[in-house]
Structure formats: structure tokens, C-alpha cells
Structure 1
Amino acid sequence: MQGSFRLSRWIGLGLYLLCGLAMASSDVSGVRVWSGPDNTRIVLDLSGAPQFSHFNLSKPNRLVLDLSASKMLSDLSKVPLSGDLVKKIRPSTPKAKGDFRLVIELSQAVNPTVFALKPTGNYGHRLVIDLPDKAGSAQIKKQQQQISKAKTQQQLAGNRDIIIAIDAGHGGEDPGAIGNKRTYEKHITLAIAKRAQRLINQEPGLKAVLIREGDYFVNLNKRSQIARKNKADFLVSIHADGFTSSQPKGASVWVVSTRRAKSEVGRHLEQHEAESDLLGGVGEVMGSVENDAHLNFALIDMQMDYSMNTAYEVAKKVLGELGKVTSLHKKRPEHASLAVLKSPDIPSILVEAGFITNHKEEKLLKTGNHQEKIAKAVVKGIKAHYRTKPLAGTLYAQTYGVRKHTVRKGESLSVLAARYNTSVAGLKKANKLTSNTLRIGQVLTIPNS
């Protein structure tokens, strides 16, 4: 009888504790708003796992979020808003005592995605609210159509630009590596990316497209999709390395590998990328990326071979340029299995500008002068590759490609030099000629002017 009583008591206590856990509060300690070009993200920092529900209201447009056993510990009036979608965030009367109701006033009707994230990295429990911006998406689609039309016209003329997509790593909820002086990788990468964009756009025949233009997170798989939609010929992802100690230093360049990285730094980088997806708040809700099942597997293999070979060649040239302006962590391109490098149709490299966890390099990476040096080195490496191997149908091919001419009756070196805007000496050197005499049918290489 006594044993039965003790058992009942323990069962009762267990049920009491379970009920207590179920009713544990998830107070809101902070609210952050990130505005991207086609969506706005609101993140609530919570003291525990949330129990929530939400619904939409119209006239005016609002999103209402109910949190059970919760209270707001942050001053909503001081939450900085960005973008045009979210007009105001305010509390309202909850449906039950002890609950909290949050109202988000919107400039347009939305179909929100609301999901909870478990603690990861330096973050605790979070509730993420993704609000798609129809106006922003329409503007992006219009810009992409204009880019596509302009590129098609250029292709017909045979003088299109080579499109370089520049991906600034991390962003928004995901700060990336954090230096000893609280320097965030996401700010360094965007600063270098914008400098590289400016330098590329100064070069006739090249055009740069930024994957992200502000402080917001872009899903890792979506970064390649954005590059593809902008018809990018090459993608470079900018990062600033981080490690568990402050000793490692130097810049490095990474290319895709089908196997896990061999080095400790490489494995740390792969783990950091996995954490990045969770910090950005998409790892648990994103579906598969574009369905490429209709593509022929043989074609994919051919594209992948081309992409990997091109990426490795560019990586070597970029490393060579980086070695002139900063120390190198490795003198050869390194391999890692990273999502941003895996596009079969777009050659891609990832540049680590240095270790933000190294005290000396953190200080350097914060300076505009050093950021400019890194950006110039990356751009010089890319230009050097495409000047030696310009893509067909591009202005670079016209400017730097090998041209041939078959000699006809009445043509001389001086006539051809004037026609192709070069010199007689240049023609003789390019064709290893010892005299000015030409023969009909002779094939000459025309040097670049």
C-alpha cells in the first residue's frame, strides 16, 4: 500500500513538473527588424521555446501574433524599422491573461512565414517572422528582365559584358565570425564586396552584381539562384575567416570539393557555414532549391568540370594577387564542401580576406585602405583570367581574344596594321616574321591593340 502511495506521489509530481514545463514562459527580451530587397524579417529573442499563433487582418493590413505565457521586456517604440513594408510594431490586448499579443502594421497584405528556432551559436530561442514584399519582388523581377534584355541585345552584337556576381558572406541575423574587438564579419564582407563592385564596373567589358546590398541574410542556396537569375558568368564569395584561437592568420581562396575538407580550418569553415544557415533562420523551413532534374546528367557533368577547372584557375590568380598585398594562410587554393560553391553552371570561389579572430588582421580588415587592397587583388585575379580566356560573344573576346586574318591579294603589313589598329612591329612580333613580305593565303595572328 505504501509503495503504491509513493508511486502515485511520484507520478503526480512528474505530471506537475511536465505541466510546469509546458506552461514555462517565453518572454520577449528583444525585437530586431531586417529589411531585404524582396522581404522583411522580424526576429523575437525569447527566454524559452514559444507557443504561438498568428492571423492576418485587413483594412488596414496587420499581422497579429499571440504568444502564450509571455510578456514583452523590450521597448517596442525604440525598435528601429527599415524598409517600407513594416509601418509600426505595437502591443495589443491579449486574448488570455498572461499571454502577449504583438501587432505588426503593414503597408500591404502579406502571406507571412512564422517559425521558431532553437538555440544555436550565441543565440537563444528565437521566433522568426518572414514577410514577403510584393512591391520589392516586382521591382527585382523588372530589373532582372531589363538585365536579360540588355544582355540578349549585347549577345546579338557579340559584345556583351562578363557578369561577375559578388557575394558578401553572412548578413542580418548571422554576423559571421566575431573579432576580439567585436568586429562583425558581415560588415567587413559587405564593405569589400562593394569596393570590388566599383572596381569591376570601372572595367569595360565587365559588370558586377551584388548578391546582397545591405545588412540582411540571404539563404546559402538562394545566393547561387540570385547569381543565376542575373545571368552571372562567375561568382566570388567574400568572407573573413574565424577560428577557435587567435593564432591562424592570412588570406585564402577556396574552391568546391566533393569531400569534406582535410584541414582543421577547412572543417571549421564547413561547420561555420552550417551554423550560418541556422543563424539566418532558414535551415528548418527552406525547401529544396530549383529543380534541375530536367537537365541531362551528362551536361551537368560537363558543366561541373568546366566550372571547377575555371574556378581553380581563377583561384590561383586571385591568390597570386592577394599574396602581393597581405599574408597568405595557404599558397594554393583549398578545397571544401560549401553550398555557395556548388553551382554546376557558375564557376565559383570563396575568398577569405584574413582571420578576423587574429588581433592584427582584425585591425587591418576594419580599415578602408586594407579593404581596398583586398578588393583590388580579387578583381585583378578575375580580370587576368578572362583576359587570357575571354568568353565568346563578349567585349572581352573582341578586346583580348586571338584574331586571325588570311592575307589577300594587294594586302601588306602596313595596310593590315591600319585596319586592325595595331603596328607593323606588333604584327611581325606576333607572327615571328623576319621581313615585311607576305604571301596570299598566309594566316596571320592579329595582336590586341
Structure 2
Amino acid sequence: MRFLVFLLLTGAASLATAGELRDLRLWDSPEGTRVVLELSGSTAHKVFALENPSRIVIDLPGTTGVRLANKAAGKGAVEHVRAAQREEGLRIVLDMRKSIEPRAFLLDPADQYGYRLVLDLAGAGDEGAAPAAPPVKAEAWEPKPIVVAIDAGHGGEDPGAIGHGGLFEKDVALTLARKLAALVNAEPGFRAVLTRDGDYYLELRERVKRARKAQADLFVSVHANALKDRNMRGSAVYVVSARGATSEHARWLAQKENAADLVGGVGLHGKDDELAAVLIDLSQASTMEASFDVGARMLKSLGRVNTLQRAQVQQAGFMVLKAPDIPSVLVETAFITNAEEERLLRDPKGQDRIARSLFDGIKGYFESYRPREQRPADSPSPRLQKVRAPSGDGVRAIAD
């Protein structure tokens, strides 16, 4: 039987000692099929293809795991997966739907992943899958209403900071949120959603959950700052820190089997860990860029109303900023513990000026970035899809 050897990687003899196959995952995409073998350690391996019928063979010397391998189901270009334990080690055979040249590479441990042997089988999707939807004409993409989720900080039994004149942060935050919502709703093509519209407490994740349920294009959390030093003053705008984004990335990946979890409109349910991680990374990168953009505009507008604590957007691990697919900012409108700024926060005219400055920043951002929705030209009542494309070259959209 004729065969072609496509890749042979051999390591030191010590690498061929007993190892274990810990997981075998397959996922399919328009570009091809990927097979991921998670291993207990680095190992010598051999990958080659056989013809008539088309098969790809993976030999893992000194490795066990036949039962786990035989549980894997075929997907995409791979029709079946079967394995056998041999004297030399584990042999895995991929029965292919057609002949494909494999590309194999070994990845070192990274974050929550161990050693992984990855096979990319490019250029073959699942022949049994439903046909792809026809392309949508350019004119079928139309502007969508811009949804701004406005979150009044604290509430109920959580008063937040309290000014020396008796002003509660929870009260002024709700007042400012309502004023901002009124400005948003008065603008054609905009719609505001308040996470809370009364004096009650909401869990932090519930605030983000409500924004995501409303398919918000922006999340703005309104607060007032506080410090023992009564001389401290100034407005500030925050976006999520790198550490906060990393921790949320891990949480989403751990909970990806929750069918309600989406990033950028794409469900994570049933996705391979590697694909889910890529989806989250792309969404977070786009979201972080957008958050800095709108945050900088809002900070500049606030500077016309009040002193700025810092001239740059700051970063922190606030829970409400961690949605990986919604640009999110937290605004510390002023120091409630500063007598002058407490008067600004209490004064209805001062509140109007703050709300207007926040809206000016929001509106300026959406003048540069306008969400669009997909409407098939031949459908009178389409299923709308929110699309957020990261800027920059070389970034491709990933969809279900």
C-alpha cells in the first residue's frame, strides 16, 4: 500500500517514555478541520497519510489512551476516529472523507493548556453539512438602532459613597443615569436601557447580563468617587484592566457550554477550547479598542465640565467592565467627598452638564462607528444579526 509521509518529528529517547493522551478534540470551520490531541508531556510523534481509502495515521510512541481516542466522533473532513494500543505505543487513525495533506505541530503548555499535538486539515469542510447561506448583497446591510446600556452604580441597601453634605452616590448615580438615558432616547436612531430604574440593588454580573440581553452596543456605568482627602477632586473614566480581561476570559472559557453565552453574536456552546479561546480573544481585543476610544471621547467632554483627575483613560478590574463583547466604560463623574464637586453633583444644572458631556462623547464615538444589521433582500421580516468587526488588517470574521 502506497503512503506518503508528511511529517516526522522525533525527540530524545527520554521523550518516548510512557505518556498519556488526555483529550482528543475536533472542530470544523470554513477553512478546514482541526484535530487537537492533549498530551501529558512532550513526545515523539509521527503523522502520515494513506490512500485508498484516505486515512491519516498518528503514531504516539510510549503513549496510552486508546479508550479515550475511540470515544472521539468524526467531524468535518474526518469521518471516523479509531485507535489501537500497540507494543510501540498508541496509534490513532482518522478515516477521511477525501485525501488531505495534514499539517502537524506540537504546542508547549500555555495558560490552562498542557502539551498539544495539533493537526490542521485545510480546505475541507463537512460534506454532509447543510449548504452555506447565499451571500447577502451589500445593500442588505443597514444601520441598526444604537442601544446604550446605562448602569447607575450601587442602589438599595448599598448607598455607595456619601458626601459630607449628605448626598448618596446611589441617588446621584441614578439621577445622572436617567438624564443620560433621556438624551440618548431623544437622539434619532438611539435607544437607552437602564440596568436599574429605582432604588434597589443589583448584583454586578446581573447588570452586565441585562446589557447583553438588550444587545447593547455600549455599556456605561455611572458613579461618583470618594476619598478621605477632601481636597481630592476630578472626573475619571475607566476601562477594564488586562488582568480583569484575562480572568474573565478564563471564566467564559470554563463556562462555554452554557448555550446562552455569546461573544460577538457567536455561541460558544459545543466549541472546542482552542476555537472558543480564539473567539473570546478576538471579541475582547475589539471590545477593548472600542472601550478606549469611547472612553477617551467621554473624558474629553467631561473636561469641559469639571477638572480631570487624569488626562488619560484609566484601567481597573471592575466587574461591570468585563463583558467580552460590549465596549464598556465606568465613569467617576466627580468626587462626592469634595465640597465643591458635591455641589456640582447635587445641582440639577450641574447634573445636566455632566449628562450632556457623557452623551457628547457617546455620540461622537458612534459617528465613527455605526452598528449594522443584516437583512436579506428577499425577506420581509428578517432575523437581525449584530455585527461588530475589529479594525486592523488581517482580522477575519468568525461565525457559526
Given the two structures, how large is their TM-score scaled by the length of structure 1?
A: 0.46
Query: Identity across aligned pairs (percent)?
Result: 42
In structure 1, how many angstroms separate the alpha carbons of the residues matched to 2:320 and 2:187?
A: 25
Q: Is the 8 A contact 2:141 2:372 kept in 1?
A: no
Alignment of 1:158-197 (within 5 A): 158-197=142-181
In structure 1, how many angstroms separate the alpha carbons of the residues matched to 2:141 and 2:157?
A: 44
Q: CA deviation at 1:156?
A: 7.5
1:251 counterpart = 2:232 = no
The match for 2:324 among 330, 344, 351 is 344
Which residue does the alignment assign to 2:84?
Answer: none
Distance 1:289 1:357, change over 3 A: farther
Q: For 1:168-203, what per-residue CA distance to the aligned partner results, in whole angstroms no more than 9, with x for missing partners?
A: 000001000011012100000000000000001111
Distance 1:187 1:156, change over 3 A: farther
- Structure 1 unaligned blocks of 5 or more: 1-154, 261-287, 395-449
1:220 counterpart = 2:220 = no
1:356 counterpart = 2:336 = yes
Q: Is the 8 A contact 2:163 2:336 kept in 1?
A: yes
Greater strand content: 2
Q: For 1:192-233, what per-residue CA distance to the aligned partner results, in whole angstroms no more than 9, with x for missing partners?
A: 000000001111111100000000001001100000111111
Secondary structure at 2:324's aligned position in 1? coil
Secondary structure at 2:373's aligned position in 1? coil
1:382 counterpart = 2:362 = yes
1:204 counterpart = 2:184 = no
In structure 1, how many angstroms separate the alpha carbons of the residues matched to 2:213 and 2:162?
A: 32
Structure with bigger gyration radius: 1
Q: CA deviation at 1:249?
A: 0.3
In structure 1, how many angstroms separate the alpha carbons of the residues matched to 2:256 and 2:171?
A: 27
Alignment of 1:280-359 (within 5 A): 291=258, 292=261, 294=269, 296-359=276-339
Letter in 2 for 1:189: A
- Structure 2 unaligned blocks of 5 or more: 1-138, 245-254, 262-267, 375-400
Q: CA deviation at 1:290?
A: 9.7
Q: CA deviation at 1:314?
A: 0.3
Q: Is the 8 A contact 1:249 1:358 kept in 2?
A: yes
Alignment of 1:265-276 (within 5 A): none
Q: For 1:56-82, what per-residue CA distance to the aligned partner results, in whole angstroms no more than 9, with x for missing partners?
A: xxxxxxxxxxxxxxxxxxxxxxxxxxx
Letter in 2 for 1:339: M
In structure 1, how many angstroms separate the alpha carbons of the residues matched to 2:257 and 2:196?
A: 19
The match for 1:236 among 220, 236, 241 is 220
State the superposition RMSD in angstroms.
2.1
Which residue does the alignment assign to 1:53?
Answer: none
Q: Is the 8 A contact 2:143 2:370 kept in 1?
A: no
Given the two structures, how large is their TM-score scaled by the length of structure 2?
A: 0.51
In structure 1, how many angstroms separate the alpha carbons of the residues matched to 2:366 and 2:295?
A: 12
In structure 2, how many angstroms separate the alpha carbons of the residues matched to 1:247 and 1:335?
A: 23
Which residue does the alignment assign to 2:78?
Answer: none
Letter in 1 for 2:161: A
In structure 2, how many angstroms separate the alpha carbons of the residues matched to 1:249 and 1:363?
A: 12
In structure 2, how many angstroms separate the alpha carbons of the residues matched to 1:316 and 1:368?
A: 25
Q: For 1:381-418, what per-residue CA distance to the aligned partner results, in whole angstroms no more than 9, with x for missing partners?
A: 01101101212239xxxxxxxxxxxxxxxxxxxxxxxx
Secondary structure at 1:240's aligned position in 2? strand
Which residue does the alignment assign to 1:44?
Answer: none
Which residue does the alignment assign to 1:67?
Answer: none
Stretches of 4+ moved more than 3 A in 1? 288-293
In structure 2, how many angstroms separate the alpha carbons of the residues matched to 1:357 and 1:240?
A: 9
Q: CA deviation at 1:258?
A: 2.5
Q: CA deviation at 1:237?
A: 0.3
Q: Is the 8 A contact 1:222 1:289 kept in 2?
A: no
Q: CA deviation at 1:244?
A: 2.3
Distance 1:223 1:156, change over 3 A: farther
Distance 1:362 1:289, change over 3 A: farther
In structure 2, how many angstroms separate the alpha carbons of the residues matched to 1:325 and 1:181?
A: 21
Greater helix content: 1
Q: Is the 8 A contact 2:147 2:218 kept in 1?
A: yes
Q: CA deviation at 1:246?
A: 1.0
Q: Is the 8 A contact 2:144 2:371 kept in 1?
A: no
Secondary structure at 1:215's aligned position in 2? coil
Q: Is the 8 A contact 2:154 2:169 kept in 1?
A: yes
Distance 1:222 1:244, change over 3 A: same
Letter in 1 for 2:282: M
Q: CA deviation at 1:259?
A: 3.3
Alignment of 1:25-104 (within 5 A): none
In structure 2, how many angstroms separate the alpha carbons of the residues matched to 1:322 and 1:227?
A: 24
Which residue does the alignment assign to 1:365?
Answer: 345
Q: CA deviation at 1:324?
A: 0.8
Secondary structure at 2:193's aligned position in 1? strand
Distance 1:212 1:156, change over 3 A: farther
Letter in 1 for 2:299: L
